[in-house]
Amino acid sequence: MPKPLLELDATPERLRALADAGVLTPAALERAMHVSFASPPRTDWRRFLSTTLMGLGVLLVLSGVIYFFAYNWADMHRFAKLGLIAAAIVGAALSAWKQGETLGGRMSLLAASVLVGALLAVYGQAYQTGADPYELFIGWTVLIVPWVAVSRFTPLWLLALVLVNTGIGLYWEQVLNTGWDKNYWLAVVLGGGNGFAWATYEHFANLRVPWLQARWAPRVLAVMTVAPLLAASVPFAASPSSAPSGASAALLLVLASLAAEYALHRHLKGELFMLTLGALSVMTLLTSGAVGVVFDSFSSVDEVGLFLLPLFVIAQLALAVWWLRHEARVTGATEES
């Protein structure tokens, strides 16, 4: 279902079409073209620059803390190491409490959450606790859960999700070690968990929760969902008869993600990023299958296969571009969607 006319973006093509239809006078067309290409107002630029510079500043400060301890590790007493990081955590937490639900307060809370991981790492090195790496990431996540819950700050939630993914991966590698196809099932677990987080975000965003309206976060979650599943499903696409069971399960979840991406695109009346992700997934699977067919069917792969495969990829790319443009026209979406 296309967007209502009043919700369509004022692109130059649409404005010229309105002028050709007599809806806009030449003067109105000139004014509309000027407005559609106008730069953002000063307040928007100030907000963008403030957000960007604050984020870069926090990252640089955190990097400086890490490198400070790395460089001075041998010359510092363990109490000095732990005390400095603990003081930094307390200072960042107090700054977040004082500033409240502002960007500065949330960035301070993000910095405090990152420093908790540094504190755990320094404690483990100073006292040689013998803990496995996965325990560091799981403990890190548990300690910052209260801050994550009250922050209503998407980057902090994504940090917690990355920590959970890392902890699960390390636990799977160091403890479970359940067989030769364990990495495929690990991809299924990670993709399924990230997919649940993605679906949860989209559900509450659809309920108009204010801090969940940005579209960049679900796109990151979609990539985190599809990437491990797609990597695990490639062996099934290339050779179904010899693929492990984990690859089959990953392929089923990839197909489910394709359906979710298209449904989301139609529901939002234009989510071309999700469609592009789905198109890349289909192209990856089809190309993997073609590679398997070529290597199984032709004895002279260098002459025949290397000629056919690039043509197949080019044909897929052309078809994907045509389809994405068709969907953009049908739903009234633009390239920024």
Tokens read off for 6: 């009043």
Per-residue pLDDT band for 112 (boundaries 50, 70, 90) equals: very high
pLDDT at 156 over 90: yes
Q: What is the pLDDT of residues 48-101, one digit of tens each?
A: 888 888 888 888 888 888 888 777 777 778 888 888 888 989 998 998 899 888
Portion of the chain with pLDDT greater than 70, in percent: 85
Distance of CA 85 to the CA centre of its chain: 30
Give pLDDT, residue 18: 72
- Whether the CA torsion 66, 67, 70, 72 is positive or negative: it is negative
Distance of CA 199 to the CA centre of its chain: 13
Task: Say if residues 252 and 314 touch (Cβ distance below 8 Å).
Answer: no
Portion of the chain with pLDDT greater than 90, in percent: 32
Give pLDDT, residue 199: 93
Give pLDDT, residue 198: 94
Give pLDDT, residue 223: 95
Quote the CA–CA distance of 297 and 44 in Å, as a whole number: 58
Q: What is the pLDDT of residues 239-274, one digit of tens each?
A: 887 788 888 899 999 999 999 988 888 877 778 889
Task: Say if residues 123 and 108 touch (Cβ distance below 8 Å).
Answer: no
In angstroms, the Cα distances linking 312 to 35, 284, 291, 307, 316 are: 43, 11, 10, 9, 6
Quote the CA–CA distance of 180 and 25 in Å, as a whole number: 70
Q: Three-state SS for 223?
A: helix
In angstroms, the Cα distances linking 236 to 41, 69, 177 are: 52, 46, 22
Tokens read off for 89: 């955590």
Task: Say if residues 328 and 272 touch (Cβ distance below 8 Å).
Answer: yes
Question: How much is the pTM?
Answer: 0.81
Quote the CA–CA distance of 75 and 258 in Å, as a whole number: 54
pLDDT at 162 over 80: yes
Give pLDDT, residue 141: 94
CB atoms within 10 A of CB 113: 27
Give pLDDT, residue 83: 87
Tokens read off for 12: 């130059």
CB atoms within 10 A of CB 318: 10
Task: Say if residues 85 and 61 touch (Cβ distance below 8 Å).
Answer: no
Lowest model confidence (mean pLDDT) among 143-157, 174-188, 237-251: 174-188
- Whether the CA torsion 3, 5, 9, 15 is positive or negative: it is positive
Lowest model confidence (mean pLDDT) among 22-36, 120-134, 170-184: 22-36
- Region of residue 100 (phi > 0: left; psi between -120 and 50: alpha; otherwise: beta): left
**Mean pLDDT for all residues in the chain:** 83
Give pLDDT, residue 94: 92
Most confident of 8-22, 136-150, 169-183: 136-150
Give pLDDT, residue 132: 80
Give pLDDT, residue 44: 76
DSSP 152: -
Domains of the chain by residue range: 39-177, 186-337
Per-residue pLDDT band for 337 (boundaries 50, 70, 90) equals: low
Quote the CA–CA distance of 156 and 108 in Å, as a whole number: 11
Task: Say if residues 291 and 309 touch (Cβ distance below 8 Å).
Answer: yes
Per-residue pLDDT band for 145 (boundaries 50, 70, 90) equals: very high
Give pLDDT, residue 160: 95
pLDDT at 131 over 80: no
